[in-house]
């Protein structure tokens, strides 16, 4: 792919500009040191637009852009179910989970579990999340991002890993969550602009310059099967997207665990000015989710028309970028970098928050100062990225699909995590032992099903494990006496009412999704 001097200038300008902007928006008043709340939760001052943009920027990275475009090339619009149904999970999180978390004034998800159960549960989940974030999430985003840059520019893979890590640290290390969240609106604008530009130019080329709607109609006529939202049992991709079960089955377990209880996602909402502001931000993110099929899936479907003989499906998005004129190519490449580094920054900030607030504070003999907590957080962020850079290629270099790597390993724990948080929030009889049993059962059952029935769809596997782990949690609490726990949350004191605008937008989003699935069933 030929980058002009203009493209190179745009990419360099973006990298320098985002670093300076991050430092500016997260600056402290003269002579004032950042507190832990300033660094890890942006001083609980984030506006709705920063929360919504940051939720999407943290979520969308190389595995979505490259991986989902590749799945669009192979499967079609059915893969967009991951994006579309996530909007509903976001709404549920805003209405039913956020009021409880913000009421508790927590920094982290493990901290909430400590308040509801005890330190054992908190520490187990803290160490678990640190391991997952460093060895699965960070390594995957770095590796896939480096692969994407390598395919577009020819840059050496390890050099790509190093540059992405350094750029992420340069704009997020000093300012913390505020630096990340307040600049993510730029990242998301670039991300959406880049994806829509690829779709626009591809559709216009397919229509021989007669417009995008003619292009879309031509794509539909040539490849009507790519627009099926619900796959039939004879579709080769049915194992990964098992028909109507994607709407009523285990996918919701992944959604609610990810959007409701994942530290690097919920941390943005925990830093909100207020509950209504957080809910507006989450609703903004839900609307942005509805755009994602046009940004990351449609380019892959167009590639199936323009480049039907691609050797690997993950080449779809880079090949579509080759259609872009100079200037737009630079902006779109900057958008890809933006998606990668914003996810990296979000993850490293959450790693430093969990380690500092849930582990370091528990094991240090003296009460640390605010300055010390911030210093520890920054050091941990650097160490986590160094480990991820060194481990990325050994862990992922020989795997056919890094996306599958993420799905398999996180899917072992997701059902148990969802059980733990749901009973912690809404069931006053849940005990410490009952949730630990659920976590252990989730891991063991997931591994057994994966090893004994490898062809069993992972969406079904998560559903079976969730129900079984939930039953194990219930039986354990019943054996222990089935009594109300002293630390249980008193739900009668929580206000779950939402503003009229939130309720209206909920109906609009549900309406859009119902129409979409009825038209493309």
Residue 392: the pLDDT is 87
Determine the Cα–Cα distance for residues 229 and 226; give it in Å rounded to an integer. 8
Is residue 150 very low, low, confident or very high in pLDDT (cuts 50, 70, 90)?
confident
Distant-in-sequence, close-in-space partners of 496: CB < 8 Å, separation ≥ 6: 95, 96, 99
Contact 174, 345 (CB under 8 A): no
CB contact set of 507 (below 8 Å; sequence gap of 6+): none
Give residue 504's pLDDT band: very low, low, confident or very high (50, 70, 90): very high
Residue 30 has pLDDT above 70, yes or no: no
The pLDDT score that the predictor gives to residue 485 is 92
pLDDT, average across residues 314-343: 88
Q: Are 139 and 396 in contact (CB under 8 A)?
A: yes
Q: Which CATH architecture has domain 5-28+35-365+372-398+500-519?
A: Up-down Bundle (1.20)
Q: What CA–CA distance (Å, rounded) separates 198 from 65?
A: 12
Give the mean pLDDT of 330-359.
90
Max mean pLDDT among 205-209, 304-308, 473-477 falls in 473-477
Report residue 152's pLDDT band, with 50, 70 and 90 as the boundaries.
confident
Q: What confidence tier does 236 reach under pLDDT thresholds 50, 70, 90?
A: confident
Q: Show Cβ contacts of residue 250 under 8 Å, excluding neighbours closer than 6 positions.
A: 458, 459, 460, 461, 462, 463, 464, 466
Q: Average of pLDDT values for 358-386?
A: 89
Q: Residue 339 — pLDDT band, cuts 50, 70, 90?
A: confident
Strand, helix or coil at 430? coil
272 forms beta bridges with 46
pLDDT over 80 at 399, yes or no = no
Cβ(336)–Cβ(137) under 8 Å?
no
Domain limits of the chain?
A: 5-28+35-365+372-398+500-519, 402-483
Q: Residue 404: what pLDDT?
A: 56
Average the pLDDT over 67-82 and give the result. Answer: 90
Above 80 in pLDDT, residue 156? yes
CA-to-CA dists, residue 366 to 165, 251, 363, 374, 423, angstroms: 33, 44, 9, 16, 34
**The pLDDT of residue 199 is above 60:** yes
**pLDDT value of position 400:** 55
How high does pLDDT run on average in the chain? 89
Return the pLDDT at 29: 66
Q: Name the DSSP letter for residue 297.
A: I
> Over the stretch 40-51, which tens digit does the pLDDT of each residue have?
888 888 999 999
Average pLDDT over residues 431-443: 94
Greatest mean pLDDT range, 96-100, 142-146, 396-400: 96-100
Bridge partners (DSSP) of residue 46 are: 272
pLDDT on residue 381:
93
Residue 31 makes CB contacts below 8 A (sequence gap 6+) with none
> According to the model, what pLDDT value does residue 407 have?
63
Quick one: pLDDT band at residue 406, thresholds 50, 70, 90? low
More confident residue, 52 or 61: 52
Give the pLDDT confidence score for residue 367 in this predicted structure.
83
As a whole-number percent, the residues of the chain with pLDDT over 70 amount to 97
The stretch 84-99 carries a mean pLDDT of 95
The whole-number pLDDT of residue 503 equals: 96
Q: Is the pLDDT of residue 338 over 60?
A: yes
Query: Do residues 54 and 298 touch, judged by C-beta distance below 8 A?
Result: no
The vertex-61 CA angle with 60 and 64, nearest 5°, equals 75
Of 156, 159, 181, 191, residue with least CA distance to 68: 191
State residue 403's pLDDT score: 57
Helix (H) / strand (E) containing 151: helix 139-153
Give the residue-averaged pLDDT of 10-25: 89
Helix (H, G, I), strand (E, B) or coil at 272: strand
Q: pLDDT tens digits for 250-267?
A: 889 999 999 999 998 899
What are the structure tokens assigned to 396, written together?
């992922």
Mean pLDDT score, 501-509: 96
- In this prediction, residues 498-520 reach a mean pLDDT of 94
> Poorest-confidence range of 20-34, 226-240, 359-373?
20-34
């Amino acid at each position: 792919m030929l980058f002009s001097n203009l493209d190179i200038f745009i990419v360099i300008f973006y990298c320098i500009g985002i670093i300076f902007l991050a430092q500016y928006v997260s600056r402290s008043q003269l002579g004032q040191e950042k507190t832990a709340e300033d660094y890890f939760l942006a001083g609980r001052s984030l506006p709705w637009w920063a929360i919504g943009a940051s939720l999407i920027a943290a979520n969308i990275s190389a595995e979505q852009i490259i991986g989902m475009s590749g799945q669009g090339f192979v499967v079609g619009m059915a893969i967009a179910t991951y994006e579309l149904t996530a909007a509903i999970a976001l709404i549920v999180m805003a209405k039913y989970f956020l009021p409880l978390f913000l009421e508790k004034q927590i920094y982290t998800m493990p901290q909430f579990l400590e308040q509801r159960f005890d330190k054992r549960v908190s520490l187990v989940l803290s160490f678990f999340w640190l391991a997952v974030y460093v060895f699965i999430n960070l390594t995957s985003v770095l590796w896939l991002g480096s692969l994407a840059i390598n395919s577009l520019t020819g840059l050496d893979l390890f050099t790509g890993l190093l540059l992405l890590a350094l750029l992420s640290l340069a704009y997020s290390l000093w300012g913390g969550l505020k630096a990340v969240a307040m600049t993510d609106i730029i990242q998301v604008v670039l991300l959406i602009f880049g994806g829509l530009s690829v779709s626009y130019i591809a559709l216009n080329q397919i229509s021989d310059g007669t417009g995008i709607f003619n292009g879309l109609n031509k794509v539909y006529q040539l490849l009507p099967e790519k627009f099926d939202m619900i796959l039939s049992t004879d579709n080769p991709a049915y194992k990964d997207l098992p028909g109507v079960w994607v709407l009523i089955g285990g996918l919701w377990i992944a959604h609610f665990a990810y959007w409701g209880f994942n530290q690097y996602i919920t941390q943005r909402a925990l830093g909100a000015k207020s509950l209504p502001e957080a809910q507006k931000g989450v609703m903004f993110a839900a609307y942005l989710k509805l755009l994602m099929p046009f940004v990351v899936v449609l380019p892959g479907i167009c590639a199936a028309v323009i480049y039907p003989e691609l050797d690997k499906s993950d080449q779809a998005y880079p090949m579509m970028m080759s259609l872009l004129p100079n200037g737009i190519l630079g902006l779109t490449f900057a958008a890809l970098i933006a998606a990668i580094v914003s996810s990296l920054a979000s993850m490293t900030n959450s790693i430093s928050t969990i380690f500092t607030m849930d582990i370091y504070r528990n094991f240090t003999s003296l009460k640390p100062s605010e300055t010390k907590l911030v210093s520890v957080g920054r050091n941990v962020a650097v160490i986590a990225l160094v480990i991820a850079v060194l481990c990325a290629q050994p862990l992922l270099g020989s795997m056919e699909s890094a996306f599958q790597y993420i799905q398999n390993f996180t899917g072992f724990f997701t059902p148990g995590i969802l059980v733990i948080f749901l009973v912690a929030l809404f069931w006053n009889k849940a005990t410490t032992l009952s949730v630990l049993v659920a976590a252990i059962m989730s891991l063991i059952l997931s591994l057994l099903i994966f090893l004994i029935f490898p062809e069993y769809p992972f969406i079904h596997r998560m559903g079976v494990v969730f129900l079984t782990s939930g039953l194990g949690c219930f039986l354990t609490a019943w054996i222990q006496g089935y009594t109300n726990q002293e630390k249980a949350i008193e739900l009668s004191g929580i206000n779950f009412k939402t503003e009229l605008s939130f309720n209206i937008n909920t109906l609009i989003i549900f309406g859009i999704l119902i129409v979409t699935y009825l038209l493309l069933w």
